[in-house]
Structure 1
Amino acid sequence: MPISSSPLPFLLQAENICLQINGQTILDNVNVTVSAGEIVTIVGPNGAGKSSLIKTLIGIQKPTSGKIHRSNGLRIGYMPQKLSIDESLPLDVYRLMTLTQTATLEDASAALDRTGVAHLIHRRVQKLSGGEFQRVMLARALLAKPDILVLDEPAQGVDFNGEVALYELIQALRTELGCAVVMVSHDLHIVMAATDEVICLNKHICCSGHPESVSQHPEFTQLFGKKFAPALAVYTHEHDHTHDLSDCGG
């Protein structure tokens, strides 16, 4: 995959990406551009290729055709969707933080502190709640001092109030670090208040743009139902953080 040797007006760009696995089309002619400081959220039904797209964007998976352009020296912090850990493995949080990267105890503590879980640094990973584990994994991604945070279902296994708090934390990190954020999410109502651009994916890009415009696009309503459009359209970055639990379906 080509990596630019000169400054680019964007951090990351996918150009006409196609991905086929065992003869099956996973991604079809997908174009994505991520600029500094923006939050881009990818939504879509199960099997739409969302996780495959972000793995392709960051180089874990190679596209069948198309090009990936990355700015020179781009630092990526990646939080995967799932991480299976054997119950018998004696693994604490600090060890998890440093499995694939080097970090001092001080650096790991600072990252955990930023996500609100510094007190868990010596806790056994298997003893963490869903919300604690996701915050640990987010802290792990921060250790890279990323230009882009790439988050695959960051609120997975977290209760509704925890989801809201986690998305607000992601927004705060974007502002504090000046990094871009690319995330996959199924939390449609919440994500419309926590993103700058939405990409609706179903192997190809059905529609993309500002959350309010996407929520009213015919292909979006066909995928997710008309019941979402009126509710989503009123969600903005200035919402009052009052959420109705009945609105968290989807």
Structure 2
Amino acid sequence: MSLVDISGLNVQLGGQTVLHHVDFTISSNEIVTIVGPNGSGKSTLLRAIIGAVSPSSGKVSRKAGLRLGYVPQKLHIDPTLPITVRRFLDLPRHVSDAAARDALEEAGAGALTGRQMSGLSGGQFQRVLLARALLSKPELLILDEATQGLDQPGSAAFYQKIAELRDHLGCAVLMVSHELHVVMAASDRVVCLNGHVCCQGEPEHVASAPEYRALFGTGTGGALALYRHEHHHSHDHDHGHDHTHAHDHEAAE
């Protein structure tokens, strides 16, 4: 079942076209990662899905009553502000102790409830943000570069937790990340974005696609070495953008 259907999405911000003719679908229980260079429209696409950005044209359809959980890139809390993890989970509205405890446990942060937010490590802070996103019992969990600033083992552990949550909660996951070597392994489907959808499909298909190599080169954190095997694609270059590989259409529908 589709949770989000996007067709012909165009977004203009400040007179600039940020997204052009994007077609995109998220189905129940899949982990989808969006990759692309800086300025490629990744965060804008997330904001369009959430409803924070209005399309210039095209359509964003969400399943009726879709419950979203959102983990931002960064959240700055003044280090002089005394606020515990438990109190933080009450913002902007109070949640029960049982709900807070369950969310923290699910996020792998069960021992942090009484700690000061200002005293948490980067990885602990992100797990608390994840717990907060889980309070809504999301059908779709959205993460915008949620491991920025974490070291590679911290990132890998965080993405492993995300995969476990998908299996445990049955939610879909949509991630934006620069950490290609990690997210390629954690994803069911990868979407390569550069203002439009350059290519998409299973990680190994995208890693071997010419459009992906053109954007990221051949030394992208081991992703190509991990997934390289030869495919023979035919690409349609009409209208200045490429279409999904023929054998990836199923994943895209």
Q: Tell me the TM-score normalised to structure 2 length.
A: 0.85
Q: Which residue of 1 aligns with 2:13?
A: 21
Q: Within the alignment, does 1:56 sit opposite 2:48 as a pair? A: yes
Counterpart position of 1:100: 92
Q: From 34, 47, 62, give the equivalent of 2:26.
A: 34
Residues 110-141 of structure 1, C-alpha deviations (whole Å, 9 max, x = no match): 11111221221121111110000011111111
Question: Equivalent residues in 2 for 1:32-181 (5 A)?
Answer: 32-181=24-173
Question: Matched residues in 2 for 1:70 and 1:232: separation?
Answer: 35
Q: Is the 8 A contact 2:3 2:28 kept in 1?
A: yes
Would the aligned equivalents of 2:70 and 2:143 in 1 still touch at CA under 8 Å?
yes
For 1:213-250, what per-residue CA distance to the aligned partner results, in whole angstroms no more than 9, with x for missing partners? 10011110011102346314169xxxxxxxxxxxxxxx
1:238 match: none
Question: Counterpart in 2 of 1:240?
Answer: none
How much is the aligned-residue C-alpha RMSD, in angstroms?
Answer: 1.5
CA contact (8 A) 1:215 1:232 kept: no
* Deviation (angstroms), 1:102: 3.5
SS in 1 for 2:79: coil
2:138, 2:105 → 1: CA distance? 17
CA distance in 2, matches of 1:100, 1:55: 20
Question: Secondary structure of the residue that 1:193 maps to in structure 2?
Answer: helix
Which one of 216, 221, 231 corresponds to residue 225 of structure 2? 231
Q: Using the alignment, how far apart are the partners of 2:187 and 2:132 within structure 1?
A: 22
- Consecutive unaligned residues in structure 2, runs of 5 or more: 230-253
3-state DSSP of counterpart to 1:11: strand
Partner amino acid for 1:93? V
Identity of aligned residues (%): 51
| In 1, Cα distance between equivalents of 2:226 and 2:48 | 29
Distance 2:12 2:92 in 1: 28
1:10 aligns with 2:18: no
Q: Distance in 1 between matches of 2:153 and 2:120?
A: 17
Alignment of 1:182 onto 2:182: no
Distance 2:228 2:109 in 1: 33
User: How far apart, in 1, do the equivalents of 2:218 and 2:77 lie?
Assistant: 39
Q: Indicate if the aligned counterparts of 2:9 and 2:20 stay in contact, CA closer than 8 A.
A: yes
> Which residue is 2:183 aligned to?
191
3-state SS of paired residue (2:28): coil
Q: Provide the C-alpha distance between the structure 1 equivalents of 2:7 and 2:226, rounded to a whole number of angstroms.
A: 29
Go from structure 1 to structure 2 and tell me whether the alpha carbon gap of 1:104 and 1:191 turns closer, same or farther (over 3 Å shift). same
Task: Report if aligned partners of 2:72, 2:144 keep a CA contact under 8 Å in 1.
Answer: yes
Counterpart residue identity of residue 231, structure 1: A
After superposition, the C-alpha distances for 1:18-47 in whole angstroms (9 at most, x for unaligned) are: 111110111111111000000000011111
C-alpha displacement of 1:67: 0.9
Once residues 44 and 81 of structure 2 are traced to their aligned partners in structure 1, the CA distance between those partners, rounded to angstroms, is 28
TM-score w.r.t. length of structure 1: 0.86
C-alpha contact 2:73 2:144 (8 A) present in aligned 1:
yes
For the residues of structure 1 that align with 2:214 and 2:93, how far apart are their CA atoms?
43
Which sections of structure 1, spanning at least 5 residues, go unmatched?
A: 1-8, 236-250
In 2: Cα distance, 1:31 partner to 1:102 partner: 38
